[in-house]
Amino acid sequence: MRFLPPRSRRLGLPRRAVSQILLTQLAIAAGVVVLATGLFLAPLGAQLDDQAMRRALAIAQSAAADPSLAAGLLASGPSPDSPVQASAERIRRATGAEYVVVVDLNGIRRSHPSPGRIGRPVSTDPGEALAGHEVMEIDEGTLGRSARGKVPLLAADGEIVGAVSVGIAYDSVHDRLLGAIPGLLAYAGGALAAGALAAYLLSRRIQRQTRDLAFSDIAGLLAEREAMLHSIREGVIALDRDGRIRLLNDEAARLLGLTPEGTDTAGALAGRPLDDVLGAGRTTDVLTGRVTGRDLLTVQGTRVLIANRMPTDDGGAVATLRDRTELEHLGRELDSTRGLIDALRAQDHEHANRLHTLLGLLELGLHEEAVAFVTEVVGVHRTTAEQVTERVHDPLLAALLVGKATVAAERGVPLRLADATLLPDRLVDPGGLVTITGNLVDNALDAAVGSATPLVEVELRSEGRTAILRVRDSGPGVPPARREEIFTEGWSTKQPRGHRERGLGLTLVRRLAERQGGTVRAGEAADGGAEFSVVLPEALR
């Protein structure tokens, strides 16, 4: 069921999750590109400034190394026609510098690109260069902002006679920086486009996974899911492909006995393997899929549970649990009532026949024979009931066998318990065993009727927690080739009566046994006839 968002909403960011994710990713990509561009341009500008200052210093060093420049400075005065002006201009034009200025020890210009400024003091302090130090700087002068290099001018004897100052126009450095920006922006634009494409593809994938819902819708669905899972009275447990718990609602934790009732610690089990939480057993096998089927019966603690498992697309599964304990109480009462009705029906016929016999004996005046007849009948019934209850301690099974014995007697077939019969009153699912036993005894009675020496024998015993049931009859038996076919729904050797459907008894027996993890097998009895064996592991507490 899809969550329907309200029609009215405030203006602002888009509500769909995919749109918000796309815008966020584009903003992040754009921010990264801008930041990377800034981080690249900042050192690039400093690098270009350093290169311009080093170039100016190199030109100044080359000019100062010319001995004619120092000789001209000493031999002539400040004049536009001096050899110093000629040499400086030649160097300026050859190197492309903005200016090459030669100053004397008094800071007076001996050369300048503007001849009118020759003979005037320089605009910046030449003291450091005249003191014998080389200088690199970015400074503002009469020709504007420039990258400068200043070196002392030495005479032939090594004495400082002046200084040479060379300037590189800062505009040229700025132009180189601006010239690098288009290429940088091209790379940045490519990176931004790649980031936008990746963001779009990612957002489309998220759109498919979130089914184009807004974040508020997803949050609402999660809240509703949590409320629903923890409010229903059916256990829900989700497992991943490795058998680890992904989700466990409160009811499942209660039914499995994992947390005390009233606590909220089921979430602490998330991520743990189910085998470690529950341990080995049928319940773990059913929930993890090692035992397959629908409406599988399992026992956890004192509870009888019905489990169903549905695989998911990612390899995991979701299992549901229902508590059958209360239904078992109702089923026991129903089975007990059904057995009582069958017994009463049989006893009604038998009692009527015995009353007629007793009435005849009294009318004939055979009083002693009448007393003996009544004593015999009462003793037979008492003996049968005592024999059953001594060996079968579960009251439901005992009542069923006593009733079936009465029905068998009415049909002329003795029903007896095998010598090995001994079953304690510790059955986990007595109702299921009552249904299995009743169906097998009814089939055995139908098969034994009409045989030469009719007989039905029932064996009920336990081996540890395993219950074993064997029902033998003196009928014609089951051919080996048909011993599996008889458990097919609808198969029967008897014709249906009225609206009643045949061929369900043995099918129901096998289904009940398999739900408890047991088996049913048809074979041949030692004295001929058929023998049905039922093995129910973990049927006893």
* SS3 call for 280: coil
- Global pTM? 0.42
What tokens were used for 235?
């256990």
CA distance 509 to 520: 8
What tokens were used for 405?
């014995």
Lowest mean pLDDT among 328-332, 378-382, 400-404, 463-467: 378-382
CA distance 222 to 220: 5
pLDDT tens per residue, range 170-196: 665 555 555 556 666 677 677 777 777
* SS3 call for 236: strand
Neighbouring residues of 446: CB distance < 8 A, sequence distance ≥ 6: 475, 494
Residue 97 domain flag: yes
pLDDT tens per residue, range 497-538: 433 334 456 777 887 888 788 899 988 888 888 999 999 998
The answer on 199 and 129 residing in a single domain is yes
Residue 233 domain flag: yes
pLDDT mean across residues, the chain: 77
Query: Quick one: DSSP state of residue 233?
Result: S
Can you give the CATH number for the domain in which 255 is found? 3.30.450.20
Task: Give the per-residue pLDDT at 534.
Answer: 93
Q: Is 156 exposed, middle or buried (0-12, 13-18, 19+ CB in 10 A)?
A: exposed
Length of the chain (residues): 541
The answer on 172 and 43 residing in a single domain is yes
What tokens were used for 89?
């201009």
Residue 22 domain flag: yes
pLDDT tens per residue, range 398-441: 888 887 887 787 788 888 888 899 999 888 888 888 888 888 98
- Residue that terminates a domain, selected from 188, 212, 236: 212
Task: Give the per-residue pLDDT at 498.
Answer: 39
Q: What is the mean pLDDT of residues 287-294?
A: 85
pLDDT tens per residue, range 82-139: 898 888 889 888 888 888 999 998 889 989 888 888 888 988 888 888 888 998 888 7
Residue position matching structure tokens 């490795």: 242
Task: Give the per-residue pLDDT at 505.
Answer: 66
CA distance 515 to 322: 14
The answer on 386 and 282 residing in a single domain is no
The answer on 287 and 382 residing in a single domain is no
The answer on 295 and 172 residing in a single domain is no
Q: In DSSP terms, which residues pair with 236 in a beta bridge?
A: 320
* SS3 call for 148: strand
pLDDT of 226 higher than 80: no
Neighbours of 114 (CB within 10 A): 12
Can you give the CATH number for the domain in which 340 is found? 3.30.565.10
CA distance 242 to 273: 8
The answer on 206 and 62 residing in a single domain is yes
CA distance 123 to 131: 18
Task: Give the per-residue pLDDT at 471.
Answer: 93
What tokens were used for 79?
């004049």
Residue 3 domain flag: no
Task: Give the per-residue pLDDT at 375.
Answer: 62
- For 198, the domain range is 17-212
Q: What is the mean pLDDT of residues 30-45?
A: 66
The answer on 523 and 397 residing in a single domain is yes
- Assign 277 a pLDDT band (cuts: 50, 70, 90): confident
CA distance 296 to 285: 11
The answer on 333 and 475 residing in a single domain is yes
- 8 Å CB contact between 509 and 283: no
CA distance 207 to 302: 47
CA distance 252 to 235: 4
CA distance 446 to 454: 10
The answer on 338 and 436 residing in a single domain is yes
Task: Give the per-residue pLDDT at 8.
Answer: 39
- 8 Å CB contact between 23 and 196: no
pLDDT tens per residue, range 303-335: 778 888 898 888 889 988 888 766 655 655 665
Q: Taking the alpha carbons of 489, 522, 340, 306 in that order, is the dihedral positive or negative? A: negative
Residue 150 domain flag: yes
What tokens were used for 124?
């910046």
The answer on 270 and 153 residing in a single domain is no
pLDDT tens per residue, range 470-498: 999 998 888 888 888 887 754 555 544 43
Instruction: Give me the number of domains the chain comprises.
Output: 3
- Residue that terminates a domain, selected from 266, 290, 323: 323
* C-alpha closest to that of 184 among 43, 48, 33: 33
Residue 316 domain flag: yes
Task: Give the per-residue pLDDT at 457.
Answer: 92
pLDDT tens per residue, range 244-273: 888 888 888 888 888 654 445 556 777 788
CA distance 115 to 103: 14
pLDDT of 469 higher than 90: yes
Q: What is the mean pLDDT of residues 42-53?
A: 72
Q: What phi-psi label fits residue 96: left (phi over 0), alpha (psi between -120 and 50 degrees) or beta?
A: left
Cα within 13 Å of Cα(481), Cβ side:
0
- 8 Å CB contact between 276 and 292: no
The answer on 504 and 436 residing in a single domain is yes
Query: Quick one: DSSP state of residue 488?
Result: S
Residue 463 domain flag: yes
Lowest mean pLDDT among 122-136, 206-220, 461-475: 206-220
The answer on 260 and 123 residing in a single domain is no
Q: Going along 376-419, which residue ranges are E strands?
A: 415-417
Residue 369 domain flag: yes
Q: Taking the alpha carbons of 278, 280, 286, 290 in that order, is the dihedral positive or negative? A: positive
- 8 Å CB contact between 524 and 447: no
- Residue that terminates a domain, selected from 197, 212, 227: 212
